[in-house]
């Protein structure tokens, strides 16, 4: 029983790490000029190719309203995107996609 719990925990841990790495790699893909932030121009030019679901809006991510998204803002968006399916599953509101 203990082995099964440990194995399950390990799978969840590694899958979460892969998801985080996926978001980190997507940040690097969007930051085409390599300056450590994503400009609105970079976002609009490349977000469609990343297939983020749900894709946050640039305005929602740009918390300090400086027309760029830094790594902290990106991490916040990642957390919101990860929480979306969980919140949606427990909701009966019409804004939830049918798949949840």
Give the global pTM: 0.65
Report the pLDDT value the prediction gives residue 58, as an integer from 0 to 100. Answer: 93
First-last CA distance in the chain: 31
Name the CA dihedral angle for 70, 72, 76, 77, rounded to a multiple of 10 degrees.
Answer: 20
Q: What is the pLDDT of residues 21-37, one digit of tens each?
A: 688 899 999 999 999 99
Phi, then psi, of 44 in degrees rounded to 5: -65, -35
Residues of the chain with pLDDT under 70: 1-21, 85-100
């Amino acid at each position: 029983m203990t082995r099964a719990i440990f194995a399950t925990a390990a799978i969840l841990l590694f899958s979460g790490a892969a998801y985080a790495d996926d978001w980190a790699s997507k940040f690097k893909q969007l930051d085409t000029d390599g300056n450590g932030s994503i400009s609105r121009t970079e976002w609009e030019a490349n977000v469609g190719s990343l297939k983020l679901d749900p894709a946050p809006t640039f305005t929602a991510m740009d918390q300090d309203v400086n027309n760029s998204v830094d790594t902290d803002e990106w991490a916040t968006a990642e957390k919101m995107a990860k929480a979306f399916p969980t919140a949606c599953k427990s909701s009966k509101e019409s804004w939830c996609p049918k798949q949840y």
